[in-house]
């Protein structure tokens, strides 16, 4: 009976944390379980113990998916889609654990939770790599493709499906396979060469914007407000916004707490100023690229390059954003910050490309296609870090633009 009750509590906790975020209290978990808060302690010593068990269940299921990947039937590319879909469905079922592991566990977590949360999904990535290698050996994947990078990128994009709640939309069960096909076959109808893409007007616009990301003059001149914003950005990224105090920011900046309070309105206002500046940078860049005199394929490529550089330059802002999704997961299909503007741009991009016969998406509405592209147009941070900006762009071109699979 105790085992059954423990499973009921874990199921209730998974639902609570997936919908209300990791900030949800044990009181909320107890209410969802239909028991008194004190009764929870007969099964779990703390909220963190629940987190640990949820992560273990999630990782165990991912390992099972990897172990059975060789059981799939069909062509090599069909097996890639089947494995990707299984990974995405697991991410949806274990959304609470995914929020704990997709970025970093909450600041102050125990060594055990940190160890579990930082364990990368090596088994499913290895299974995806093996499946792609088989496709490459059979001639379905181009021999020049770095399938290790594609396997990592594909697995991360599948796991990302569980971050939002788009899986609740009609037809969303096709989204994982659609994203796999986009990476395998590319969006461009005709595969453009690097020379053409590098010379495009959109690429030039992106380069000019990237060059403009110099340190603000007031920061170079040691302006105290700019220093405080820079220090707060680092502290929020390292500790998490919830656990960072103004005293922490003041100590890291080398100022008194009173000095910091005289220069800012509040901690919340400080966060807003940091993230608003980041959002404006991303939005202005996307808008400039979309307004350039370029083809849809060239604009797509320029957005890939721009986003790679955003990830390289604004890693702290992105970590703050991911930590915010842990605490406040989206309740609608739309992610916060820059997403609405970016989605509109991508719908326009796809509309123009489909009309001109330059882009291809099959089996999806314009809305679903744009949402899939939104996920894929951002290269994972570890690929940018390990391959470098140009290496990450090469991998992105060989997947989302030209496709990893043989053409014709």
Q: For 353-399, what is each residue's pLDDT tens digit?
A: 999 999 999 888 899 999 999 999 999 999 999 999 999 999 999 99
CA distance 188 to 393: 15
Predicted local confidence at residue 222, as pLDDT: 64
Q: Are residues 146 and 191 in the same domain?
A: no
Residue with the larger pLDDT of the pair 23 and 134: 134
Q: Is residue 408 part of a domain?
A: no
How many C-beta atoms surround the C-beta of residue 200 within 10 A?
21
Average pLDDT taken over every residue of the chain: 90
User: Rounded mean pLDDT of 103-119?
Assistant: 81
Select from 181, 204, 231 the last residue of a domain. 181
How many C-beta atoms surround the C-beta of residue 73 within 10 A?
7
Q: Exposed/middle/buried for 262, CB within 10 Å: 0-12, 13-18, 19+?
A: exposed
Residue 218 scores a pLDDT above 50 = no
Q: Are residues 241 and 369 in the same domain?
A: yes
How many C-beta atoms surround the C-beta of residue 180 within 10 A?
25
Residue 324 scores a pLDDT above 90 = no
How many C-beta atoms surround the C-beta of residue 269 within 10 A?
10
Select from 181, 207, 232 the last residue of a domain. 181
CA distance 160 to 380: 10
Residue with the larger pLDDT of the pair 316 and 215: 316
CATH number at residue 187: 1.10.357.10
Q: Is residue 17 part of a domain?
A: yes
User: Rounded mean pLDDT of 117-142?
Assistant: 94
CA distance 314 to 149: 22
Residue 331 scores a pLDDT above 80 = no
pLDDT tens by residue, 150-166: 999 999 999 988 887 66
Q: Exposed/middle/buried for 268, CB within 10 Å: 0-12, 13-18, 19+?
A: exposed
Q: Are residues 175 and 187 in the same domain?
A: no
pLDDT tens by residue, 21-62: 888 899 999 999 988 888 888 889 888 999 999 999 999 999
406 confidence band (pLDDT: 50, 70, 90)? very high
Percentage of the chain with pLDDT > 90?
64
Residue 217 scores a pLDDT above 50 = no
Number of domains in the chain: 2
Cβ atoms 235, 252 nearer than 8 A: yes
Residues 6+ apart with CB under 8 A from 342: 282, 283, 286, 374
Residue 338 scores a pLDDT above 90 = no
Q: Is residue 63 part of a domain?
A: yes
Q: Are residues 80 and 131 in the same domain?
A: yes
Select from 160, 181, 202 the last residue of a domain. 181
User: Rounded mean pLDDT of 104-127?
Assistant: 86
Q: Select from 117, 121, 113, 11 the least CA-distant residue to 63.
A: 121
What residue numbers bound the domain in which 69 lies? Answer: 2-181
């Amino acid at each position: 009976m105790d085992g059954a009750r423990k499973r009921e509590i874990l199921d209730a906790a998974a639902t609570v944390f997936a919908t209300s975020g990791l900030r949800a209290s044990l009181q909320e978990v107890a209410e969802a379980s239909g028991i008194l808060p004190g009764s929870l302690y007969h099964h779990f010593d703390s909220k963190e113990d629940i987190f640990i068990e949820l992560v273990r269940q999630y990782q165990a299921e991912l390992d099972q998916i990897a172990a059975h990947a060789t059981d799939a039937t069909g062509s090599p590319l069909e097996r890639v889609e089947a494995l990707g879909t299984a990974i995405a469905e697991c991410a949806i079922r274990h959304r609470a654990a995914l929020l704990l592991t997709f970025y970093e566990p909450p600041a102050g977590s125990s060594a055990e939770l940190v160890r579990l949360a930082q364990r990368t999904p090596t088994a499913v990535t290895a299974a995806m790599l093996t499946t792609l290698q088989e496709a490459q050996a059979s001639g379905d994947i181009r021999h020049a493709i770095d399938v290790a990078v594609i396997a990592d990128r594909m697995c991360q994009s599948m796991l990302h499906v569980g971050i939002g709640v788009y899986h609740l939309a009609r037809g969303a069960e096709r989204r994982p396979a659609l994203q796999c096909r986009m990476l395998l076959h590319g969006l461009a109808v005709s595969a453009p060469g690097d020379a053409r893409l590098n010379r495009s007007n959109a690429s030039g616009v992106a380069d000019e914007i990237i060059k403009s990301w110099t340190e603000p003059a007031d920061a170079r001149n040691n302006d105290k407000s700019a220093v405080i914003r820079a220090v707060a950005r680092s502290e929020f990224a390292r500790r998490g916004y919830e656990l960072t105090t103004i005293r922490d920011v003041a100590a890291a900046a080398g100022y008194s707490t009173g000095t910091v309070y005289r220069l800012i309105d509040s901690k919340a206002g400080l966060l807003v100023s940091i993230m608003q500046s980041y959002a404006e940078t991303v939005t202005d860049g996307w808008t400039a690229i979309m307004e350039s005199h370029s083809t849809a394929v060239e604009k797509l490529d320029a957005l890939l390059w721009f986003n790679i550089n955003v990830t390289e330059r604004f890693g702290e802002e992105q970590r703050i954003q991911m930590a915010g999704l842990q605490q406040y997961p989206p309740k609608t299909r739309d992610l916060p910050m820059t997403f609405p503007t970016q989605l509109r741009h991508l719908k326009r991009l796809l509309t123009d490309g489909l009309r001109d016969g330059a882009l291809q998406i099959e089996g999806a509405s314009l809305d679903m296609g744009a949402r899939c592209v939104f996920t894929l147009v951002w290269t994972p941070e570890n690929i940018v870090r390990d391959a470098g900006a140009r290496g990450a762009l090469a991998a992105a071109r060989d997947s989302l633009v030209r496709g990893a699979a043989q053409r014709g």
